[in-house]
Amino acid sequence: MSLPRPPVPTYELELPSTGKKIKYRPFLVKEEKLLLIATETGDDKAVRDAIVDILKACIQTRGIKVEQLPMFDLEYVFLRIRAKSVGEEVEMTFTAKDDGETSIPYKLNLESVDCIKPEGHDPKVMLTETAGIMMKYPSMDQFITSQILQKEQSTDEIFDEVINCVDQIFDGDEVWEAKTTSKKDIKEYLEGLTSKQFEEIQKFFQTMPKVSHSFKLTNPNTGVESDYTIEGLTNFFG
């Protein structure tokens, strides 16, 4: 007689990008082992494949295309899955801001971490009164590069990411879809912008929704209270 499958709980969350509720389960031991092995190899494709497989397995709601989710959705979902897998509380230590040396312990509950959506953020970037660009959010590859592998990107790689995030280019009633336009043409278009116009595109990334947690800590030696903010997926794990 074969053993039954171990019972695995399921949970629910809302995707920050759409508010759609999805169900998910924790990592299984075999899945966490798969990710660790892939990370240790240093093979980007192996890591990407492992994360895609794990997220697809852990997300129980049908019709969710992991590769197409915005990066901040992936950060939020991954954080929640990890919290339910290995524990919701993380012991952390911060340096007091007023004296720059006192260590202050902090117990972070990962369930309190939210996805912040800054006011004024708009994927529609106007370059002139009639011309502009519709942007789309970085997705799976950028999530793995910056949040899992923690790789520094070169200027060319960052520019390529901007190109990949262009959804449409428009001028008046004319619209050019990125999916039917060559990357070469989009690159030439972006390189033809003024520095001030390109800054408007950079604002899209700077104000993009992000996983963030703000809190206050008091220096036990001086009684001075300071504000702290944690951002970036890996910074939530101590």
Q: How do residues 191-236 score in pLDDT, each as one tens digit?
A: 999 999 999 999 999 899 988 999 999 999 999 999 999 987 767 7
229 with 158, same domain: the answer is no
HEC profile of the chain: CCCCCCCCCCEEEECCCCCCEEEECCCCHHHHHHHHHHHHHCCHHHHHHHHHHHHHHHECCCCCCHHHCCHHHHHHHHHHHHHHHHCCEEEEEEECCCCCCCEEEEEEEHHHCEEECCCCCCCEEECCCCEEEEECCCCHHHHHHHHHCCCCCCHHHHHHHHHHCEEEEEECCEEEEHHHCCHHHHHHHHHCCCHHHHHHHHHHHHCCCEEEEEEEEECCCCCCEEEEEEECHHHHHC
76 with 41, same domain: the answer is yes
pLDDT of amino acid 119:
87
110 with 218, same domain: the answer is yes
130 with 201, same domain: the answer is yes
101 with 32, same domain: the answer is no
130 with 162, same domain: the answer is yes
131 with 163, same domain: the answer is yes
160 with 173, same domain: the answer is yes
Q: How do residues 107-142 score in pLDDT, each as one tens digit?
A: 999 888 899 988 889 999 999 999 999 999 988 777
Question: What average pLDDT score do residues 155-166 get?
Answer: 88
The domain tally of the chain equals 3
143: in domain: no
> Using CA atoms, how far apart are residues 111 and 67, in angstroms rounded to an integer?
24
The pLDDT-based confidence of 149 (bands split at 50, 70, 90) is: low
The pLDDT-based confidence of 147 (bands split at 50, 70, 90) is: low
Contacts of 115 (CB under 8 A, 6+ apart): 16, 72, 73, 75, 76, 209, 210, 211, 212
195 with 133, same domain: the answer is yes
145: in domain: no
4: in domain: no
104: in domain: yes
231: in domain: yes
45 with 29, same domain: the answer is yes
The pLDDT-based confidence of 154 (bands split at 50, 70, 90) is: confident
Q: Which domain holds residue 176?
A: 124-138+152-206
144: in domain: no
217: in domain: yes
The pLDDT-based confidence of 148 (bands split at 50, 70, 90) is: low
178 with 132, same domain: the answer is yes
132 with 158, same domain: the answer is yes
Question: What average pLDDT score do residues 44-53 get?
Answer: 79
